[in-house]
Amino acid sequence: MKQFITEQHKEKAIQAIQRVVKVPSYLKDGVPGAPFGQDIVDCLKETLTLFEEEGFTTFIDPEGYYGYAEIGEGEEIFGILCHLDVVPPGDESLWDVPPFSATNADGKLVGRGVQDDKGPTIASLYALKAVLDSGATLNKKVRFIFGTDEETLWRCMDQYKKNEAPIDLGFAPDSDFPLTFAEKGLLQAHLTGPGSKDFTIKGGSALNVVPDSATYTGDKQEEIKAVLTKLGYNFKETNDGLVVAGKSIHSKDAPEGINANTRLAEAMCEVIDHPALDFLGKLVKADANGVSVVGEVSDEASGKLTFNVATVEINEKETKIGLDLRLPVTVSKDDVVASLEKKVAEYGLTYAEFDYLASLYVPVDSELVQSLLGAYRDVTGDMREPLVSGGATFARTMDNCVAFGAMFENTVDTMHQPNETWQLAEMEQTMVIYAEAIYRLCTNH
């Protein structure tokens, strides 16, 4: 195999990751030309400028939903589907460095987005640059598509697909190696019901994250503290109220996290009588597979359903609970929804769908999968089979597209968590793999 990646490519990649991570591109109130907040558009513009500096032609949607950068000639378009938005930093006191500093120290980059998805986006850029710098000629257009709403509703890709020609094949650098050829369905919903004049709860900030804190305010604090202590759950007292701690992780891996919302509800429902608390604290509790709510749901291809009580807000006006479910690839969404609606109604809650993404499937024997898999195996020697994931990547928005890296089997997954980290050795290995894959699929080698 040809060696494409040089020290210069690695150094430029590090500097570019720092450059885009420094823009805090998480969802905020929209303004004209910036539907998801000005910071996200600023990050998009900065990224497009960076690609222009490397010889790409760029385009930005006039309404601010998406952009793309492309290079090469030909009828076919090879797409690399990336996203520049990130989840909020959360409690910044839990970070060892400022979350948008993109600190480079001790062989790693730390900052919001270094793993998800700004780091792999830039690794893809300099992998392609390394192939071009070697003298290779592209036999098709390579187009980087930059979404800006991946962490919420994917409205960016809806707009892209409405306005632009589809790609012919490609990958999203937003998952795990060796590659993901099938992704579970994603169902997000809100449950609403009566509020309470006696207390407030607020926990969680995004539907695709297991919440790491939930706050109670009311006059039963001492009684709830006693129950939390009995249960062995971590909490602290603050000026805002009683704050219960959890362990944040991506919703697709909900069973591996600790849900602060349900922990708080478990304690509260022993002290306060409220149907939503009973739903969360007596029924759901630590059940991150939703068995208590929708029954056993799984299939042989993709495993069990996952169930995350991502957000909770109970105030004087209403109860609002945000759920994130990842559905096995062969399971009927309608059947799950029917079970869910029936069960929550028993607790005075009303179901309303917020977002749904159908599953992804590209045959393992396709040219795309075999070429990407071959590049990965030849670089690493790892012969593991391709994956099925509970995650949702932009790959499912296009035909003949899969998720390809950039996390390895032994990568410590810090996405959506404090101190999000990418090891530089893993960044370099990712660039080597991507360069080999692009060389095989996009040049007449």
Active site amino acids: 85, 150
CA distance 176 to 391: 10
Quick check: 375 and 386 in contact, CB under 8 A? no
3-state secondary structure 328-368: CCCCCHHHHHHHHHHHHHCCCCEEEEEEEECCEECCCCCHH
SS3 69: strand
Two tokens, residue 136? 């290779």
The rounded distance, in Å, linking the Cα atoms of 145 and 161 is 11
Q: Residue 262 — φ and ψ, nearest 5°?
A: -75, -30
DSSP class of residue 64? S
As given in the structure block, the two tokens for residue 260 are 């602060």
CA atoms of 82 and 121, how far apart (whole Å): 6
CA–CA separation, 340 vs 297, rounded Å? Answer: 12
Please tell me the distance from the alpha carbon of residue 295 to that of residue 409, in angstroms, as a whole number: 31
From CA 257, how far away is CA 250, in angstroms rounded? 8
Q: What are 66's strand-pairing partners?
A: 147
Q: What's the distance, CA 265 to chain centroid?
A: 26
d(CA 177, CA 406): 6
Nearest-angstrom CA–CA distance, 4 and 76: 24
With CA atoms as reference, report the closest residue to 308 among 341, 259, 353, 342: 259
Written as six digits, the tokens of 40 are 């996200």
Gap between the Cα atoms of 150 and 235, Å rounded: 32
Strands 213-218 and 241-245: antiparallel
* CA gap 266, 214 in Å, rounded: 12
E strands, 86-209, in order: 103-105, 108-110, 141-147, 169-172, 175-176, 180-183, 185-194, 199-203
Which residue is listed with tokens 């992998």?
127
* φ and ψ of 306, to 5 deg: -115, 150
184 within 8 A of 390, measured Cβ to Cβ: yes
